[in-house]
Structure 1
């Protein structure tokens, strides 16, 4: 018996379409499942939590959705023995990239999950919330703040518009850090505390990060001119920005950041700084390639 969670709104309706395909495939294969999907994300999370509290054992959770749906499920799955079988259907699908899920065909992914075993990966924890990809603050968080306030513009377009609006007035801030007991201050434009490789729909902010090494990869982008920022920014999608002299990457298990700024984790708003994040080693059971 499996659990199934579908977010039909993921990827502007991709979740609904792929969810139907998954149900058809599971039925054709004779795989029994309990659907915990609901009309709202909160209800779906509560349904998942309820099933995990029961004595019944499940083979795993088929999750059809994007990074937001993953974040929702992870809050309940960390520390459990239920494996996450992700079938990406979102806009960004960054966690799918981190897991190296190259098979885009849902039927192929289902076959892979049914014929292999999941493994344990690390997760991050900030406050009482878990994240699997990136905790960030600085420029990108301000873009998120502006985009989330937009009502008329939808989808990726609002983030592109927000990016241009924020860039026109953006200034680096002074941050206070503590990484595994080492305290220091630094001016920065962007800070990423990464468990995974990418965020923001394929930006490989920390291309060498490993999700099973017990460490965050911590990127700090020192102040550069707007012209230089526009030169460097596109390189993030290939991971080639790491050689720029303004980019510094270190590793650590416990990270504290403070400034007059807000933080986001896996695209979800954490809130104003200060924040404390730590690695939860081998905290999540999932399939990867």
Structure 2
């Protein structure tokens, strides 16, 4: 029977991290599994707790949102430790990519019975972050600014906070000139954003890269070109279904190493947590993390 250590972000989703674990924890214990719970004071503290549990041969449960999943998953990448997720944040996008069920009983069954699956991770390198490993995506441009606004929201939650953050960001955004190098080939791009995606989802269920798969060994690079603001608002709505990729303003490439630069200090983000400015390099690490999915 598996032995779990749950690492909880107590403020996830507006202080629902611990509450999200309660029912799942009861079901795990009733099935005979061992479960220890650790509460994190910060993301770096959560990563330390996760590494320590992994060294003891325990399955690590990341209880929180995408920042918690990405931070802990990144810390465990390449170690052989098995990761499980108990989604409790505003976005929960990597949980979507793993197709985790929403109900506690079904999620507990996945954690107890499913065999680990090897998925890719993303190594992120910049001047501010010499080496960070994340799970979902690296995004540079208006969406990084939108994510910052969403994280600062005090009233709105979930998809509403991301949508409001996106509206606020677009109204003040000026298109940037990017140089995007994909596996050594340079692409010039002027527009709103460049996303290097391991997962199809970001921004609380928005399908930024419909063809992206977490175990295909490549990153999908989505570039949205300069367009009138009214068209970009339409594109934002189309992210709900992924139909934006059919527009001529959207270009998609794939590669293993992506370098993103710009003509001004454009912000970038990763998994809702890492925040800095370009340039940044994202490299796929194929099959580097074992997850219960």
Normalised by the length of structure 2, the TM-score is 0.89
Structure 1 residues not aligned, in runs of 5+: none
In the TM superposition, what whole-angstrom CA distance separates every residue of 1:68-88 from its partner, at most 9, and x where no partner exists?
110221132101222111121
2: CA distance, partners of 1:39 / 1:226: 40
Question: What does residue range 60-99 of structure 1 map to in structure 2 within 5 Å?
Answer: 60-99=59-98
Displacement, 1:228? 1.0
Residue range with higher mean Cα deviation, 161-170 or 119-128: 161-170
Displacement, 1:138? 1.1
> Is structure 2 residue 129 aligned with structure 1 residue 126?
no
Task: Give 1:266's aligned residue.
Answer: 271
Displacement, 1:147? 4.8
Displacement, 1:169? 2.8
**CA distance 1:94–1:258, shift in 2 (3 Å):** same
Residue range with higher mean Cα deviation, 167-176 or 252-261: 167-176
Name the SS of the counterpart of 2:14 in structure 1: helix
Question: What does residue range 135-146 of structure 1 map to in structure 2 within 5 Å?
Answer: 135-146=138-149
Name the SS of the counterpart of 1:237 in structure 2: coil
- Cα RMSD of the aligned pairs, angstroms, is 2.0
Displacement, 1:158? 5.5
Normalised by the length of structure 1, the TM-score is 0.91
Structure 2 residues not aligned, in runs of 5+: 126-130
Counterpart contact for 2:194–2:224, Cα < 8 Å: yes
Displacement, 1:227? 1.2
2: CA distance, partners of 1:152 / 1:73: 25
Displacement, 1:197? 0.5
Displacement, 1:269? 2.9
2: CA distance, partners of 1:96 / 1:159: 17
Task: Give 1:182's aligned residue.
Answer: 185
